[in-house]
Structure 1
């Protein structure tokens, strides 16, 4: 495989040739859509705001398009790949196209949802073209398990990007929006067309940026707060008095907790901030 003339990044022909040589056919099970456009991976790295001091976690590196762009910019990349063939090939691809950066790559052959810790140096950023079928669980899991992550820039299905970045009151504001807000300030970072992927997905994509912040100040645990969020959105058209009845024990108990938290019992979950959900969880603890 000859080095790519544009900064040793993978082009469409190289990606198809490499996939053919490996017998790789992108699978829906693992949500595989490989980025074949060098400008797109450069844009992702630029939008991520990472530099030579960063240690980046990349989930689902695939054939290495984004990995190569990251390695030219950051200190280290820890790539988490579930596909055994791709996990084995990635170090070889980097050794061929970026031999001076090969020692800065670590490949973990595992499911990102099983990652609980990483060896030093601790990662500072998550940058990835995420498999669309597990994008939200992966982001929330890694934010929980890797507290050293300061920034996130991920490419996901546009609908998911809109949900993650939605503010309270927005029609797509829901569980992913609120839980992501527990960990970070979340904002949209641009749209990505379908023709930069192989195979081209039947949906548009979007970039989401997250900047780590302290969680709300509350006496309740994250688990307790997330239980309130899940209950509130399980029946999102109901008032909180009704939606939280099962969680609190009865509609009357839910109303008592909501009033103690300073939240209108007739409101719906889609209007509440993460701070208000935390206040509800804390009010129930105080009442117990």
Structure 2
């Protein structure tokens, strides 16, 4: 294991003071100040020396250092210019043997279209809460080489991502994530491990890539049907899918052909059900 010093509360505050960073809600910045928490995230992610890891929103580098400690390569995507500017020096100072396994991309993760270096195998991140689901779905779509991952998100978002059909919190994030991966909730993170402490609880979500669905219809088309099904959550699918089918009658015909009750609701359907509906529209 390479020699790596992790960041504790004193180091995080000292780094922030040095570059005059005040964490902003706008960018969902809450820095992890507990070494045990970042080691736990890395352990539960299953990342090892053979992995190439994408990290989104590395901030001051708490999780980045713990990932480098495993021997993995890390590509960190950071939108904040000041944080991105300091991170390479932090790696050089706290993990000098690991600098050659670290790459920085100063960009908005939602607008990334490619990453430097070897194809990434894992995504591990403390995702900014305000864009966590769009970022996760964007990277899963962009990087088919990703095999696994673990992200820390707002607790209720973690529940939604991992929800199963029939659950009260099952919805668009649950269905779309299931297109790419088998998703599971793996634990909770307390507020006191962050600076500043957020006013919401956090949860860990792990996922393992699944084979792409065997279908001739595009993912974009299926996702448009998913969006329509949940746009009016309490509405039966016959009415909810009218906008994408052209009429309630056409929606009903597609539902019947897919073997689905036209009076069912979106929250009862799996990703495979939505694919079957789309194929029959």
Q: Note the residue ranges of structure 1 that are not aligned, 5 or more in a row.
A: 1-5
Corresponding position of 1:84: 81
For 1:219, what is the secondary structure of its paired residue? coil
Corresponding position of 1:148: 145
- Partners in 2 of 1:276 and 1:244 — Cα distance? 14
Pick from 1, 24, 27 the counterpart of residue 24 of structure 2: 27
Is 1:16 aligned with 2:31? no
1:61-210 maps to which residues of 2 (within 5 A)? 61-210=58-207
Pick from 38, 44, 53 the counterpart of residue 50 of structure 2: 53
For 1:210, what is the secondary structure of its paired residue? strand
- Partners in 2 of 1:103 and 1:52 — Cα distance? 14
1:215-230 maps to which residues of 2 (within 5 A)? 215-230=212-227
The Cα of 1:7 is off from its aligned counterpart by 4.7
For 1:152, what is the secondary structure of its paired residue? strand
- Partners in 1 of 2:40 and 2:231 — Cα distance? 37
For 1:214, what is the secondary structure of its paired residue? coil
Contact kept? 1:50, 1:74, Cα under 8 Å: no
1:225-240 maps to which residues of 2 (within 5 A)? 225-240=222-237
1:211-263 CA-to-partner distances (Å, cap 9, x unmatched) read: 00012222211011001000000011000001001111111110001111111
For 1:24, what is the secondary structure of its paired residue? coil
- Partners in 1 of 2:114 and 2:175 — Cα distance? 24
CA pair 52-270 structure 1, distance change in 2 beyond 3 A? same
The Cα of 1:152 is off from its aligned counterpart by 1.4
Contact kept? 1:116, 1:146, Cα under 8 Å: no
Normalising by the residue count of structure 1, what TM-score does the alignment of the two structures yield?
0.95
For 2:280, what is the secondary structure of its paired residue? helix
For 2:144, what is the secondary structure of its paired residue? coil
- Partners in 2 of 1:93 and 1:262 — Cα distance? 57
- Partners in 1 of 2:42 and 2:71 — Cα distance? 9
- Partners in 2 of 1:122 and 1:7 — Cα distance? 24
Corresponding position of 1:3: none
Pick from 279, 283, 287 the counterpart of residue 280 of structure 2: 283
Number of corresponding residues: 279
- Partners in 2 of 1:147 and 1:118 — Cα distance? 12
Aligned-residue Cα RMSD (Å) equals: 0.9
The Cα of 1:29 is off from its aligned counterpart by 1.2
- Partners in 2 of 1:118 and 1:26 — Cα distance? 26
1:17-72 CA-to-partner distances (Å, cap 9, x unmatched) read: 11011100001111100000000000000000010000000000000000000001
Contact kept? 2:52, 2:120, Cα under 8 Å: yes
- Partners in 1 of 2:117 and 2:106 — Cα distance? 18
For 2:173, what is the secondary structure of its paired residue? helix
For 2:215, what is the secondary structure of its paired residue? coil
